[in-house]
Amino acid sequence: MSAPRKATREAYGETLVELVQDGFDVVAVDADLAGSTTTAKLGKVYPERLFNVGIAEQNMIGLASGLSLTGKTAFTGSFAVFGTGRAYDQIRNTVCYAKLNVVVAPSHAGITVGADGGSHQMLEDLALMRVLPNMRVLIPSDYLAAKAALRLAAETGGPFYVRLGRAPVGQIYEKTEELALGKAVVLRSGTDVSIIACGAEVEQALLAADTLAQSGISAEVIDVFSLKPLDEETIKASLAKTGRAVSCEEHSVIGGLGAALAELVAKNPGILKSPLKMVGVQDKFGTSGNIDELFARYGLDAKFIQDIVLELLA
C-alpha cells in the first residue's frame, strides 16, 4: 500500500516538538495562524515555547529575532504571502543583515492554496528570499523532506527560508539521508532531457517522466531540495549528459528555480543544445479553484510537462 498523501505543512509542528525533545532550544512565533501552520502542536506540548503576536507579521519577525539573540532558534509561521511579503523589511534588515538564527517557514505557499485565490497564492516568495544575502532557501517536495528541512535549519543555524504547502502531496522519499544544504537529488536517471523540479512539482515531474518513458524518452528527474545554495555540480553533470532542460516550479517563472538555472546556464555557455524551458506561473496572479484545475490552467501538471519535453525534443 502506498503512503498516504500529506501536506508539507503537517511536518512543521511535529518536527518542532521532536527538536525540543532532542535538546534543541527551539521556539515558534506565529501570527494568529498556529492551527493552519501547525505550530499549535508545539504549543500543546510546550506552551511556553509558542508565542502568538496576532495579525502582526512584522512583530512576529521582530520577536523571533529578539528570541534568537537569547540563544534560541526561532521559527516563524503565518501564510507565505504574509510571512514574507508583509515582513520583508524585517527579514532583510534584522534577520539576514545580522545573520540571526531565525527560520522563516510559512505555510500555504504557491498556487496550491486553492480556493483562497490570488490574494493568498504566494508565487513570488522564492524570488524574494533567494536574493537576500545570508538567506538559505529549502523547498521540500514531501512530508519527510519537510521534516528533514526543518531539522537541517535548526542544526545549521543562521537565516533559513523553508517553503511549506497546504495541499497534500505524494511521498517522494522513504529515507532522507541524502537531503542536505546545497544538494540536489537525482531521483531518476535519464539521457534525453533533464527535468529539474522543486516542491510540489517534483511529483508532477516524476509522473511526466513515467509517461515519457512509454514513448521511449529517457527523462532525468532532479529534486532541487536546496535552491540556495544551489547544487551546481549535480545540475551541470546532468545538463552535460542530456543537453536539454526543463525547470518546474509552483512559483512565478521570474526569480525562482527557472531563473537560478538560467543564471547557471549563462555561466556555462554551450552546456545546452536547445533553450531552457521553464514550467511555472507565467507572470500572472493566481485564482480560485481546486488543485487539479489550477495545475491544468497554469500549466503545472504532468501533462503540460510532458508536452513541453516533446516540444523541446522535436
pLDDT in tens, 42-58: 999 999 999 999 999 99
Per-residue pLDDT tens digits for 4-25: 999 999 999 999 999 999 999 9
SS3 for 173? coil
Question: What is the enclosing helix (H) or strand (E) of 74?
Answer: strand 73-76
Cell of 96: 539576514
| Residue 291 pLDDT exceeds 80 | yes
pLDDT for position 118: 86
Peptide bond into 229 cis (omega under 30): yes
pLDDT for position 179: 97
| Residue 155 pLDDT exceeds 90 | yes
d(CA 137, CA 203): 20
Residue-range domains of the chain with CATH: 10-162 (3.40.50.970), 185-313 (3.40.50.920)
Q: How much is the average pLDDT of 79-103?
A: 97
pLDDT for position 114: 87
Task: Name the active-site residue from 10, 57, 124, 203.
Answer: 57
Burial 187-200 (b: 16+ CB within 10 A, else e): bbebebbbbbbbbb
d(CA 182, CA 225): 8
Q: How much is the average pLDDT of 67-92?
A: 96
d(CA 73, CA 118): 32
Give the strand pairing for 219-223 and 226-228: unpaired
**Structural contact between residues 222 and 197, judged by C-beta atoms closer than 8 angstroms:** yes
In whole numbers, what is the pLDDT of the chain averaged over residues?
96
pLDDT for position 53: 94
d(CA 261, CA 208): 20
pLDDT for position 182: 98
Name the nearest CA neighbour of 247 among 267, 269, 227. Answer: 227
Q: Which residue type does 215 have?
A: S
**Structural contact between residues 149 and 179, judged by C-beta atoms closer than 8 angstroms:** yes
pLDDT for position 168: 94
The DSSP result for 87-153, as a single string, is THHHIIIIIITTT-SEEE--B-BSGGGGGG-TTT-B-SHHHHHHTSTT-EEE--SSHHHHHHHHHHH
**Structural contact between residues 96 and 55, judged by C-beta atoms closer than 8 angstroms:** no
d(CA 24, CA 223): 28
249 labelled catalytic: no
Helix H, strand E, coil C: the string for 189-250 is: CCCCEEEEECCCHHHHHHHHHHHHHCCCCCEEEEECCEEECCCHHHHHHHHHHHCCEEEEEE
Per-residue pLDDT tens digits for 185-226: 999 999 999 999 999 999 999 999 999 999 999 999 999 999
d(CA 73, CA 67): 8
pLDDT band at 1 (very low <50, low <70, confident <90, very high): very low
| Residue 252 pLDDT exceeds 90 | yes
